[in-house]
Chains A and B, each alone.
Chain A
Amino acid sequence: MERFSPNQPSSLTLLDKIFFLQGHSQNHHNNSWILSQNTRDSQIYGIPQYLENPKPRVMATKPKLFYFCGRGRMESIRWLLAAAGVEFEEEFIETTEQYEKLLKDGRLLFGQVPMVEIDGMVLTQTRAILSYLAAKYDLYGKDLKETVRINMYTDGTLDLMLMIAVAAFKPPAEKEESLALVVKRAKTRYFPVFEKILKDHGEDFLVGNKFSWADIQLLEAILMVEELDASVLSEFPLLKAFKTRISNIPTIKKFLQPGSQRKPPPDSHYVEVVRSVLHF
C-alpha cells in the first residue's frame, strides 16, 4: 500500500479548486495520539490506539438502542458505536403494546424511533444521535472545516442508505425500480465522488488523514449496495482498497463477523412487524 508522504507538496487538484478556492495545504501529519513507537496497525492505518485493541469501554451504563430488529434507520448508529468500540444493548420493538408504552412514557420526543438512551439523555432523530456519537468518540474531524466535510459526505451516504431502507416497504415493482435507482446513484453520483477524494489526497481515510465517521458510513454504504449488485465497485479501485482496509480495522472486523449486532437486509417478516407496530 502506497504511503502518502505528509511533506509532499500538494499541487492544487481539481477537487481543491472546487472545495477550497484558495490554496489550502492540509496538515496531514496528525499522529499525536499514537502512543507507541512500534510499528503497529495504529501507525499503518492511522487509527486511534483504542480501536486497535478493542477493550470494552467501561461505562456507567451502556447505551441502549430502541428499534425494530432490523436495519432501518438504526443501522448506521449500530455501525458507529461498534466501530468506536462501544458496547451497547438493544431493546427490540416487536408489538404495538411495546411501542405504545414507549410513547406513553414520553420517551419518544416526536413519537418515533430510533431512540437511544445514552449519558442520561433520551435521544431521538437519527442524525442527532449520529452527530452526538461522532463528536463524543472523536470521529468528527479536528476542526470545523473537517467537520463540514464529514457532514457533507455522511449526508450523502445516509441519503443513499435511506433510499434502500425505504424501498423495503414499497410494492414489488416499485421496490425493484427504487433499488435499481440506488445502484445507479451509487455508481454515478456517490461512489465517483469518494473515489476521487481518495485519489486526490492519496490518504487512507476520507478526511484529515484520520479515521472518522465518514469512513465508517461509506463502508456501510458500500456493503449495502454490494448486496444489491456485487459488481458495483468494479470501476472504483480505490474504494475496493478502502473497503478492505476499513473492514480490517479490528472493531469493524469484529462487527462484520456472524453473531454480532449487525442486522441483515430487510425481509418480509421485518416489513410485516414494522407495518403492524406502526399501523401503515
Chain B
Amino acid sequence: MAGKPKLHYFNGRGRMESIRWLLAAAGVEFEEKFIETPEDWDKLRSDGHLMFQQVPMVEMDGMKMVQTRAILNYIATKYNLYGKDIKEKALIDMYTEGIADLNEMIIVLPLCPPDQKEAKIALIKERTTDRYLPVFEKVLKSHGQDYLVGNRLSKADIHLVELLYYVEEIDPSLLANFPLLKALKTRVSNLPTVKKFLQPGSQRKPPINEKSLEQAKKIFR
C-alpha cells in the first residue's frame, strides 16, 4: 500500500470534514496537507493534481481522488460501511443525500452576506426540524434497530451523527423532540474510533472563525 491516505484541503471543515469523519470512524489513520497560501493553491492546480481544479482531493491507494461523494463512496465500500447489497446501498445513498443537502446549507452559511444570515439560519432550523430530522427519527422508530440500515453501522449513521453535532452547535434545542436520534448520536459517539475522533487534539476541525474565513477567501480569491 502506498501509505496513509493524504487529504488536500484548507485547514477547516468545508467539504472535507465528512471525509475526515468517515476515515476516522473506519479507524483509518490519515495525513493532511493544508492549503495555506494562494501559492499553495496555484501549485496544486498547475501541477495537474486536481481533476476538475477543485478540492477536496484525497491521495489514496495510488489514486488522486476528487469529488466528495466519489471519495466517500470509495472509503465506505472499502471499509464495509455501505450495506450488504445494492438495495441497502440505495437506502444508504438516499439518506446520505438528504443529510448532505442539509449539511450543504450549513457549510455555505459562513459565506452568506451578514444581512441574509438570520434568514438563512431560520431556514436551516426549519428544514432541520420539519424536513430532515423527522425522517431519520421515523426510520429508527420503524425498525427499532440501532442503526439506520440493515442493523449495522454504515456511512449513513456516521454522516447523520456528524450532522447532529452541527445542528447542536447551531441550537441544542433543535434535537429536543428526537429521542431516537439523540440515542443514535450517543451510541455512535461511543464507538471507540469515533470517541477518539471526538476528543480534543484529533483531526476534527472546529467551526470556521472570522480569521480562517478571511484566510480562506485570500487563498481561493
Cβ–Cβ < 8 Å partners of B97 in chain A: 125-128
Partner of A131, one of B67, B68, B89, B132: B89
- 0/1 interface trace, chain A 99-134, chain B, CB 8 Å (1 if under): 000000000011100000001010111111101100
Contact of A124 among B61, B65, B68, B94 (CB under 8 A): B94
- Complex CA distance for A119 and B53, rounded to whole angstroms: 38
B28 at the interface (CB under 8 A from A): no
Q: Which of A15-23, A174-182, A220-228, A249-257 contacts B (4 or more CB under 8 A)?
A: A15-23
How far apart are the CA atoms of A79 and B132 in the complex, in Å? 29
Given A22-B62, A123-B94, A156 and B52 contact (CB-CB distance below 8 Å): yes
Q: A152 to B60: give the CA distance in the assembly, Å.
A: 14
- A148-B63 in contact given A110-B101, A190-B52 (Cβ < 8 Å): yes
Q: How large is the interface on B (under 10, 10 to 19, 20 to 34, 35 or more residues)?
A: 35 or more
Q: Within 8 Å of chain A (Cβ to Cβ): is B105?
A: no
Across the interface, which residues of A come within 8 angstroms of B77, CB to CB?
Answer: 144, 147
- Please give me the residue from chain A that is nearest to B93 by CB atom: A128
B94 and A193 contact, CB distance less than 8 A: no
B120 smallest CB distance to A (angstroms): 16
> Which B residues are in CB contact (< 8 Å) with A145?
61, 63
In the assembled complex, the CB of B41 is this many whole angstroms from the nearest CB of chain A, namely 16
A193/B63 contact (C-beta < 8 A), A127-B97, A131-B93 known: no
Describe A's contact surface by its main secondary structure.
Answer: helix
> Digit string of B51-74 for contact with A (CB within 8 Å is 1, else 0)?
111000001011111111111011
Interface centre among B63, B65, B78, B132 (most CB of A within 10 A): B63
B2 within 8 A of A: yes
**Distance in Å: Cβ of B206 to nearest Cβ of chain A:** 28
Bound complex: CA A135 to CA B90 (Å): 10
Show 14 A/B contacts (Cβ-Cβ < 8 Å), sorted by A: A18-B64, A19-B51, A20-B63, A110-B132, A121-B90, A127-B93, A132-B87, A132-B93, A147-B74, A148-B63, A148-B73, A151-B74, A155-B67, A193-B52
Chain A positions within 8 Å of B, measured between CB atoms, are 14, 18-22, 24, 109-111, 119, 121, 123-129, 131-132, 135-136, 144-145, 147-148, 151-152, 155-156, 189-190, 193
